[in-house]
A and B are shown apart, each in its own frame.
Chain A
Amino acid sequence: MDESSSLILRRYFKEYYFRYSDKIEQPLEIQSREFGYFPFGGGMVRHLSYRDIGAFRAILVKEAPAGVYCSNSYYLEPSAEMQKKGWMKADLIFDIDADLLKLRCKKDHDIWLCKQCGRKEFGLRPEVCPACKGNRILEFSWACPLCLEGSKKETFKLLEFLENDFGIASSEMEVCFSGNAGYHIKVEKNPLEQIDQRGRSEIADYLAGKGALLETYRSLKLSPDDPGWKGRIARYIQNLPGDTPPFRANEFPDRIREMTIKKKTADYEKFLYTAIDATSVKLDAMVTTDIHRIFRMPETLNQKTGLVKRECGDLASFDAMTESIALDDEKEVAEIVVDICPKIELGGKSYGPYRNEKHKLPLYAAVYLIAKGAAKIVSEPKIPAS
């Protein structure tokens, strides 16, 4: 990123933290948490510990970092090096991102870049560059309304699992837009906080339906009213259209019989995995299983977009690309040159697609495109240097 564009991002972030750092809430049991931040142009600073959020907010106002994080784990010595921290427990966290959903719209808006010849195109990453046949190809993901809707749907699926299967009340869950293309879900003060990495891996596998045995789900006793995965598979069968092979019968008992008795094992196995794929939650297992992670804090900015990681009051009606804009002053504009970007929707308006074009956009939209690495600043807006 060029110096001027980088400067504009830093100023934008600085202004945000100057105005709104008091919105960053103190995490539970702050003295047991590890804090960290990622400065612009520098390496991660972590193993920090505070007794009061005020001291950390002051650092954010001063440094205006690119990313701001807090551990989901609680430690005896949060500022010690990792092996000496003394792990006590950890909030349960989940990360859902549109990129993991492999939605069809990706081919319309993602961009690839051949590092060998510099060619850039919309679409999924080819095996080799059609121009130079090189295979050093980078991919850039973008999020469209369909992606955000997909992430939201996936989040609802997760919440259903957490509530019905794991018995976690919705009041115990914090659901935030990640500031990029998905949602972060956190569960605090639950008995599951004591679970170690292996137990968390089992939770991630459960949500993904990994390890399901054929014999568990090949039973005449399956009922749509069953709790857990059995009920999910049964409801999937119940809700399939009548003409969906291999189930032609419309009555549920007939369908179950057709599945358990009449179908060949290999056919049922294939069907079961399709049912699991449709019903499971696609999430980043690394986030859920890693108990030494520091996790982006709510009300801080995401350096990949300049948007805020923001708690969703009502998930169903939450409009991520409007409600997570950090500084939404429409009068503040910036002139940028966009290298390549798909159509994006931000603040209720759409921009692009652009290719080698100069545009004057609201500052937040310019920041979004600069942070995505798709644009450079031409003329700087007047942001007060706080």
Chain B
Amino acid sequence: MTNIRVESAVNSEYFGTDDRAKYPFLSETGEYIRENDISVSKLAHPDFKLVVKRAEERVEEAINSHYVSDKIGENLDVEIMSFPVALMLVKATKLDHLIDLYASGEAKRVQSFLTKDMSERTQGTTERLVRKFLGLGLETAEVQNVFRIGLADYLKRETKFRDPRWRLVNRTVHNGKVSLQRDDLIQLIEDEMRSITVTRLKNMNLPKLPAEFDSVVRKLIQIAPPPRVKYTTLNIGPENYPPCLKQALLLLEKGENVPHYGRFLMATYLLAVGKSVDEIMDLFPKSPDFKKSVTQYQVEHIAGLKGGRTKYTVPSCKTLQTHSFCFKDPVKCYEISSPLQYPSRRIPAAGNGSGNVKEEKRKGWTKAPR
């Protein structure tokens, strides 16, 4: 391994080799590899045996324990190099669901380092880490272990808002800054790492790997879990409609005006469960301001048949809440994020295999057609 060892301070004002090993997402890692003239064709060389072995292990750990372990105490260079090699292995399996699994495992590894570093290192280092990882400014609040980030930066991490704790209303927002506890900040970074790795893997152009890698890739395909079953929700009867859709239909029935999001939900949901444009149109005539040609155009537009040809998806529960069109059933709506997940007759989409029975039981879904 002597041929790939470098000085720890190379090319980094703030981060050393140990940082690159802990946080291989850093752009310095790429520079490190480039500077050492390490190419894919060289990976089959015995010098890189440990690197390839550790790369394989990283993916295996992500599959088996959803967590990539901390081995920086053993060989920093191997730890740094094995990350890009592991990415290539994951890409070579051509298993899309393995991308998410691996990215989550690596993100968990980063989380453990961050927790330690943020406790032990100086505030300046923490700030630099966050700036480097997320590209955002960070202020330290007067209270220990509380940080503040810009409101715009917080809102860009909108995937977090599925967790009620992360909703803005449950945060202290003051003067354009959002307060975060240290653990929240770490979680934010962990999520960011996951999404960076996913994006990197999805956009990766896989170089031709040496033939010696074939058996490793085959093994990873073998041990990877099956993909999660995708469900389709065809032929749902009105008795199983979610409460928001029932409310929209009730308003129509009563001749009352259905707000925009109610109409949008009706069209998208009913199209998603297999209703035709004509069947949906049949529901409308009782509306007081009904204009058939306008409504037909709108439904066809939503179906992707007119205009920009974009097929619109069913609005999420959160979107419906924003527009005051959520009529939550406290039991059946529990833990769902889309009206399409409302417990009803769900059929595995064609070619999706047997499905995840445990998951179905937990959610109270009935899988098989009655």
Report yes or no: B168 in contact with A202, Cβ–Cβ below 8 A: yes
> Which of B254, B260, B322: most chain A CB closer than 10 A?
B322
Contact with B along A261-305 (1 / 0, CB 8 A): 000000000000000000000000110010000000000000000
Q: Are B173 and A165 in contact (CB under 8 A)?
A: yes
Tell me, in angstroms, the Cα distance from A192 to B158 when the chains sit together: 13
Cα A165 to Cα B321 with chains together (Å): 22
- Given A82-B308, A135-B255, A136-B288, CB of A227 within 8 Å of CB of B168: no
Judged by DSSP, the binding face of B is mixed
A83, B164: Cβ atoms closer than 8 Å: no
Cβ contact within 8 Å between A199 and B286: no
| Contact among A125, A168, A227, A289 with B174 in the assembled complex (CB-CB below 8 Å) | A227
Q: How far is the CB of B336 from chain A (nearest CB, A)?
A: 15
Q: Please give, as numbers and ranges, the residues of chain B lying within 8 Å of A194 by CB-CB distance.
A: 152, 156
Choose from B169, B288, B307, B310 the contact partner of A206 (Cβ within 8 Å): B169
Residues of B within 8 A of A203 (CB): 155, 168
- B323 within 8 Å of A by Cβ? yes
The complex places the Cα of A271 from the Cα of B256 at a distance, in Å, of 31
Given contacts A81-B308, A212-B170, contact A167 B322 (CB under 8 A): no
A210: chain B residues at CB < 8 Å are 167, 169, 321-322
Whether the Cβ atoms of A201 and B319 lie closer than 8 Å is yes
Tell me if B151 and A211 are in contact (CB < 8 A): no
Report chain B residues within 8 Å CB of A216.
169-170
Within 8 A of A (CB), among B245-266: 254-257, 260-261
Tell me which residues across on chain A come within 8 A of B172, comparing CB atoms.
226-228, 230
B289: Cβ under 8 A from any A Cβ: yes
Do A202 and B161 form a contact, CB below 8 Å, given A211-B170, A230-B172, A286-B260?
yes
Residues of B within 8 A of A229 (CB): 169, 173
| Residue pair B308, A211 in contact (C-beta under 8 Å) | no
| Distance to closest chain B CB from A140 (angstroms) | 12
- Would A168 and B176 count as touching, CB distance under 8 A? yes
CA distance A81 to B308 in the complex (A): 8
Q: Which residue of A lies closest to B319 (CB)?
A: A201
Shortest CB distance B334–A (Å): 15
Query: Complex Cα distance A30/B337, Å?
Result: 39
Taking CB atoms, residues of chain A closer than 8 Å to B257 are 139
Closest chain-B Cβ to A216's Cβ sits at a distance in Å of 4
User: What is the chain A residue whose CB lies nearest that of B150?
Assistant: A191
**Are B155 and A138 in contact, CB atoms less than 8 angstroms apart?**
no
Known: A127-B254, A136-B288, A138-B289. A228 touches B173 (CB 8 A): yes
Alpha-carbon separation in the docked complex, A286 to B151 (Å): 21
Nearest 7 CB-CB pairings of A with B: A167-B176, A227-B174, A199-B155, A135-B255, A211-B167, A191-B152, A167-B175
Identify the A interface with B (CB < 8 A).
81-83, 115, 125, 127, 134-139, 164-168, 190-192, 194-196, 198-199, 201-206, 208-213, 216, 226-230, 285-286, 289
What 7 new A-B contacts, CB under 8 Å, besides A166-B151, A194-B152?
A: A82-B308, A115-B288, A165-B175, A167-B151, A190-B152, A192-B155, A205-B169
Provide a sorted-by-A list of 19 A–B residue pairs whose CB atoms are within 8 angstroms: A82-B307, A135-B256, A137-B288, A139-B257, A164-B174, A167-B151, A167-B175, A196-B156, A196-B158, A198-B158, A198-B161, A199-B155, A199-B156, A199-B158, A203-B155, A206-B167, A206-B173, A213-B170, A285-B323
